[in-house]
Every structure is written in structure tokens, then in C-alpha cells.
Amino acid sequence: MRYIYLYIIMLMSTVVSAQYPTTDHFDAVGLNGWTQVSGSTANAGWHSPTDICTNIAGDYVDKDYYSWESPALDHSSCTDVDVTFSVSFSIRNNDAVYFCWVDGGWTCVEIASSGAWVINLPSTTTKYSLDLDAAGNGNTASKFTHFDYVTTACNIPLPVDFIDMYVTCVSIEWVTSTEINNDYFTLQHSYKADVWRDIHTQQGGGNLNTPSLYKYDGEVMSGYYRLIQTDYNGSSNLLSTKYISCLEVYGEPSVIYNMLGQEVKRYTLGYLILVYPDGTVQKNMFETREEWNKYLH
């Protein structure tokens, strides 16, 4: 038997990847190049139109080992791959379901329960397999194994090894440790994290092997800020999103203007310019009456 029992983490959230995914669905298009290499074929195979099945019309065979292998794989352009697969099964004690792969030799993980699972594999992986070892004891009636899909996501290193972005009401700074083909950064602002506008573009360092500090000295307003990096081929990556509140207590303004230059009353909502008796000018976005109260008191 070709397996080593390893620990595998059940998928609890969306898997995030830098490139494709490619998916073998095992639905209306059949096996997508997968081949059954062991186990009885009389009652196992592609179960139209949904999955690979070990009991298409009846029960799987006692003391048999079922295995379906993928076509040859080439992940050489990736640093590693995240493989997501879905399986549902009801099996006997001592039967076992496995996901296996080839990286020099075969390695398998035992699947503990039905559901969607994800496993990270090296880029040198050249084949997958989906297996059922019917080595248990007892009646196989009403027992089954269904493999629904296998998705592969290729992870590619980002052009920037990003450390963090630091947002204050005075300035915004961010730090990188290394950069590869980094063209530029775009700093964006939004009041509600829904509609974003560009407020600053910063030239990147190209190719750097040392830490770099970048700084935005323009006006910092309350709201959300996010930093996007773009490399020389036009690919962009979201690096960070931060929120800051820069409302200060100044008391009662002497006059308030909207963005059209029209004088308005306090508790007016929107982006406003507040002028105080000492000549101080403040610009802020007011979305609720409560924000006005915090600002005034």
C-alpha cells in the first residue's frame, strides 16, 4: 500500500492564490483526463454528470483498492501549489479515503471526513490520485465514495516583500524589505471602503535587496487607506488596508462651507470645510450626527 499518513487541514475559508486556478470538475465533461488505474471497474468510474464514484449502481468491492490518477502535471512556474478537492463518503471501519501525489515518489494523506479540503504541495509535484482502500470489514451495502472536483492554484512570489504600512493623521509610511521588478505604488483613500480614489503615486525601487521606506506627506483625512503595488508587466497586488480617524475637538466653528463653497449649517453631512475664530481651517467628512458631536465636544 503506497501511503504515509500525514496531517491535512480542513478548508475553512477561501483559499487565496496568486495565479490561475485550474479545476477538474468531473461533471458533464467526464474525467478531465483522469484514469482509473486500480480497483474494479464494473461498478466504479465517472458517475454522470457529477463525480468519480466507487458505487455507480451497487456497492464497492470488499478488499479492493480503487485509484484514479490525474494526467501528468507541470507546476514548474510556481513556487508551490494549493490543491483544493471535495469528497463525500460513507465507508466502513478500517476503510480509508486518500488524496495522493507524486513528488519523486508517492505520498498520501488520509481524508478524515466529507467536505472540501486544501493541501499545499511543492511545485515539483507531477501527479495526483484519488483513492479508496476497501480493506475494512463488514457489509458494503449503502457505502460510497464520491470525488467531486480538484482545483489547483499556482502560487507565485509577489514582486514586493512588504513589511507594513503605518498611517497617522500627519503622514503615511510603508516599508519593503526587498523588491523585484517593482514599478510603482498607488495610495488610495475611501470614506467607507467602497469607492476608492487615487491620492498618490510613488515610484517603486525596481529591484532592491535592502529595506526601503516610502512616505506620503499630503493631507491625511479620516477614512480608509489602501496601498497597491504594480510591477513592470502591469500586474497589481493589494498590499495593505488601514483605517484612521483624524477628527479633533475644536469647538464651534465660525463658518462652515461645503465643497461648492456654499455656507452651510452645522450637522450638515458630507465633506466640509470648517473655519474657526482663530483662523484654523479643518477639512473633514461627516457621515453621521454622532461624528459632529464628537468633533464639537
| CA angle 42–44–45, rounded 5-degree value | 120
The residue written with cell numbers 497617522 in the block is 168
21-155 and 160-244 in the same fold: no
- What pLDDT, on a 0 to 100 scale, did the predictor assign at position 125? 95
What is the fold of 21-155? Answer: Jelly Rolls (2.60.120)
The model's pTM: 0.52
Amino acid 10: pLDDT: 38
State the cell numbers at 88: 463525500
The confidence score (pLDDT) of residue 283 equals: 78
160-244: which CATH topology? Immunoglobulin-like (2.60.40)
Q: How far apart are alpha carbons 114 and 32 in whole angstroms? A: 22
In whole angstroms, give the CA distance from residue 129 to residue 38: 11
- pLDDT at site 199: 95
pLDDT at 2: 46
Provide the pLDDT for residue 148. 87
Pairing, β 212-216 against β 270-275: unpaired
What are the residue ranges spanned by the domains of the chain?
21-155, 160-244, 255-296
pLDDT per 10-residue tile (average), the chain, 297 residues? 39 37 70 86 78 82 90 87 90 93 95 92 94 87 87 81 91 93 93 86 93 93 90 86 76 82 87 80 78 69
pLDDT of residue 53: 87
pLDDT of residue 251: 67
